[in-house]
Structure 1
Amino acid sequence: MDTTLLAQAVSISTAFIMSGYMLSASQVTLPLLYPLPAQTTTPLFAGVYHRGASLVIPGTIISTAASAYLAYTATSSQECIVYAAAGAVTTGILPLTAVAMMPGIHRLLALAKSDSAVQVKAQESGEVTGLLKAWTRQNYVRVVMCAVGGGLGLYAAVRREC
């Protein structure tokens, strides 16, 4: 198999798969947790977060590496720029997560390990629902970033064939 074709398939499909995976968390999973008690929502969020990280982190690395290879082997400067942009946008979800999302994630994970009284207080104050909704909004940004990364890669691949 041609290495360029393989790298295109890996880069593009991985970015779109991650986008869809993260979309399901924001669109389907997290909203179902909002009305539930903190004793239920925070451990469930911890599971969603840890399972997601086990897919998203390696997926980001794989997609970005394939995009970097495509940028390096590009046949034109414009193609190089588009593949580099695809990789950069996809990789951008990692610093976004670290800087913008981790404070809320850490708080939710801490609440998941807290005793019932702390969880009830956080639920009654609206903190848990607020943190879950903030995570959902921030995750939508990551969804768009991965979709844009996949779209840029697809654009470059199709343009190359024309």
Structure 2
Amino acid sequence: MDSLSVARFLSIPSAFLVSGYSIAASQMAVPLVYEQPASVSAPFLRGVFVRGAAFVVPGAIISSSASAYLAYAIPERRTTLATASILTLLPLAFTRFVMMKGIQHLIEISESAAEQQKGDQNGEVVQLLKAWVAQNWVRAALAFSGGMLALYAYHSSVERRVYRY
């Protein structure tokens, strides 16, 4: 197996795995705790965030790095693959610059009984959870788009080689 095959093998599936993880959290996990008290829902989101970071960060870096290598190695698909590389890394930046304030606030709530009580009374925790879910869909879409672009670039480069010979 050559380096291009390895990079393709890493780039495309890891982007889809990162996207799928985010979709599962947004669709299946976090909405289930909307009805729970803040003493349950805020710590739950904290766990989702911490465990997600352990999976999503390496997955995004692997996918982005592999797509960047492919962009370097396949000049006729450089723009498409470079864009795929950026798209698969953007969820990390999106988390840092858009989502982190809400996540940190939920983590603070998860560590304080007084904040949990306040969050239950004013509905703040449910609002923060719903905002997280909406923002997480954006992260899923970014990773998915990166995977689709890498898949398109791969398919196009295979098609070109078939017709070249």
TM-score between both structures, scaled by the size of structure 2: 0.94
Look up the equivalent residue of 2:126 and give its one-letter code.
T
Aligned counterpart, 1:5: 5
- Give secondary structure in 2 for the equivalent of 1:35: coil
Look up the equivalent residue of 2:14 and give its one-letter code.
T
Q: Is 1:137 the equivalent of 2:139?
A: no
Q: CA deviation at 1:3?
A: 1.1
| Unpaired runs of at least 5, structure 1 | none
Q: CA deviation at 1:75?
A: 3.8
Consecutive aligned runs of 4 or more in structure 1 exceeding 6 Å deviation: none
Aligned counterpart, 2:149: 152
Deviations 1:93-151 (A, max 9, x none): 11111111000000000011112x32111111010000000000000001100100000
Mapping of residues 87-106 of structure 1, within 5 Å: 87-106=85-104
Aligned mates of 1:91, 1:102 — CA distance in 2: 16
Q: Is 1:84 the equivalent of 2:82?
A: yes
Aligned counterpart, 1:37: 37
| Unpaired runs of at least 5, structure 2 | 160-165
Look up the equivalent residue of 2:43 and give its one-letter code.
P
Aligned counterpart, 2:162: none
Look up the equivalent residue of 2:149 and give its one-letter code.
L
Aligned mates of 1:130, 1:26 — CA distance in 2: 14
Aligned mates of 1:23, 1:46 — CA distance in 2: 17
Q: CA RMSD in A?
A: 0.7
Aligned mates of 1:144, 1:96 — CA distance in 2: 12
Figure out how many residues of one structure are paired with residues of the other and give that number: 159
Q: Is 1:128 the equivalent of 2:137?
A: no
Aligned mates of 2:12, 2:31 — CA distance in 1: 28
Aligned mates of 2:11, 2:127 — CA distance in 1: 34
